[in-house]
Amino acid sequence: MKYVIVGGGVAGTTAAEELRKLDSDGEIILISQEQHPLYSRVLLPHYLKGLVERERVFLKKESWYEEKNIEWLRGVEVVKCDTKNKFVELSDGRELPYDKLLIASGNEPRVVDGDVRGVSYLRSLDDADHLKQLLNERKKGDPAAVWGGGLIACEYLNLFVAHELPTTIALRGQHFWSKNLNEEAGEFLNEHLRQQGVKILTEQKFLGVEGEKELEGMKLENQKVECDILGIGIGVQSDLGWIKDAEIEVDRGVKVNEFLETNVEDVWAVGDVAEYFDVVANRHIMFGNWQKAMSQGRVVAKSMAGERSEYQQVPSYAMEILGLDITFVGDVELAAADKVLVRKGDEHGPTLMLMRDNKLVGAVVMGRNSDRVPLTKVIDQRTGDLAKVMNWQGIDQEILA
């Protein structure tokens, strides 16, 4: 049996590791765009803050692949796939036949025009090394800026504020996560950031960067923000071109069912690239997350080895932004909810509970961490029975989405 896994991140590598446990003789080929052995992207902010040494971000040693008899092709990408004759073509021209194919190719940060020194992205270890270098060259009081309003933008705020760089953030909408936070939650977060000394510019349009070789500023529609370091955090996108050309169904990501199967036989997809059918949410969702990527890698390996297995788990994502904890649980897309209940924030932020067909499908918890576990349970049980876990006295608003 010949297994080809496209993507050497946590989803693909976990799948390879599990496949080896289940099939000691099969040929396993892991195609990795990066040169590094598996490392934790989630540890990159810790590395940048100096909480862990660089060597601690690695989860596998270079020798691990050979020890497990996994053929590790690094520094190459898949450019074409033929699902009829069952082979993939690599960027170096090689053609690799497969019996079972797993797409775990992840995603890439969206980029802006203008490649001057001082502009930073934060996705890979190489990005983190570059950012560390930039931060080392800056001194307290140097102006910093961030463009974007998602997870990576938060990481930049944490880093820049910790380095005592006066920071301005420009957002396209009125607040962070416009698809997931309502106005109240968004404004609570904005106010929290302002109190931490961050300058927020909302409803902005990014026109480009200023500076010849070294960054001098960020151009917005009606103003210029002076800065000598700029973090870009405007989301991610997957390269779906070759997948689409192979007539594998894609929408926002590669569409898979609850068994992580694509529409094409012997082709599966997992991790950040997959738009998977979430049996709890009862619809296809995309939720980029370490735990999910790893679990899907583990589950899909079973299916690829012949034991068809369903993936089922309530996804969650926790982050801290300048001291405020924010957690996303389940299906947190406001547009897909038919009702949103809001538990008002006191000294904490609000808790949003996203309902669909009278069931709780997702929650956004800001600050009140004790809401996380009970709400996760209700989502997992696929009920709307909040009274069992919540004090209804604390829910002040009921809003139709």
Partner 1 sequence: MKITIKVDPELCIGAASCVTIAPETFQLNEENKAWVLDHGQSPEGNKYERVIEVSEEEKENILLGAQSCPTLAVFIYNEEGKQIFPEL
Residues contributing to the site for partner 1 (CB under 8 A):
10, 40-43, 46, 51-52, 56, 59, 290-291, 294-295, 313, 316-320, 325, 327, 369-370, 372-373
Q: How far is the CB of 185 from partner 1 (least distance, A)?
A: 17
Q: How far is the CB of 373 from partner 1 (least distance, A)?
A: 6
Q: How far is the CB of 47 from partner 1 (least distance, A)?
A: 10
Distance CA(140)–CA(154), nearest Å, equals 20
Residue number with CB closer to partner 1 (100 or 372): 372
Distance CA(319)–CA(369), nearest Å, equals 11
Q: How far is the CB of 361 from partner 1 (least distance, A)?
A: 18
Identity of residue 260: L
Distance CA(129)–CA(30), nearest Å, equals 25
What are the C-alpha distances in Å from 116 to residues 68, 104, 169, 229?
Answer: 42, 31, 19, 10
Residue number with CB closer to partner 1 (3 or 39): 39
Residue number with CB closer to partner 1 (309 or 313): 313
Residue number with CB closer to partner 1 (10 or 300): 10
Residue number with CB closer to partner 1 (151 or 267): 151
Q: How far is the CB of 319 from partner 1 (least distance, A)?
A: 7
Residue number with CB closer to partner 1 (153 or 170): 153
Q: How far is the CB of 262 from partner 1 (least distance, A)?
A: 25
User: Considering only CA atoms, which of 15, 66, 17, 60 is closest in space to residue 36?
Assistant: 60
Distance CA(262)–CA(102), nearest Å, equals 10
Q: How far is the CB of 136 from partner 1 (least distance, A)?
A: 22
Residue number with CB closer to partner 1 (196 or 291): 291
Residue number with CB closer to partner 1 (51 or 111): 51
**How would you class 210 by CB atoms within 10 Å of its CB: exposed for 0-12, middle for 13-18, buried for 19 or more?**
middle
Q: How far is the CB of 234 from partner 1 (least distance, A)?
A: 22
What are the C-alpha distances in Å from 204 to residues 155, 207, 225, 237?
Answer: 20, 9, 12, 21
Residue number with CB closer to partner 1 (59 or 79): 59
Residue number with CB closer to partner 1 (263 or 309): 309
Distance CA(332)–CA(334), nearest Å, equals 6
Residue number with CB closer to partner 1 (262 or 316): 316
Task: Give the three-class secondary structure for 395.
Answer: strand
Distance CA(136)–CA(134), nearest Å, equals 5
Task: Give the three-class secondary structure for 335.
Answer: helix
Q: How far is the CB of 381 from partner 1 (least distance, A)?
A: 15
What are the C-alpha distances in Å from 47 to residues 1, 56, 204, 233, 324?
Answer: 39, 8, 31, 18, 20
Please state the separation of Cα 104 from the chain's center in Å: 13
Q: How far is the CB of 150 from partner 1 (least distance, A)?
A: 16
User: Considering only CA atoms, which of 66, 123, 81, 121 is closest in space to residue 269?
Assistant: 81
**How would you class 379 by CB atoms within 10 Å of its CB: exposed for 0-12, middle for 13-18, buried for 19 or more?**
buried
Other CB atoms closer than 10 Å to residue 185's CB: what's the count? 24
Q: How far is the CB of 14 from partner 1 (least distance, A)?
A: 9
What are the C-alpha distances in Å from 152 to residues 138, 182, 384?
Answer: 20, 20, 32
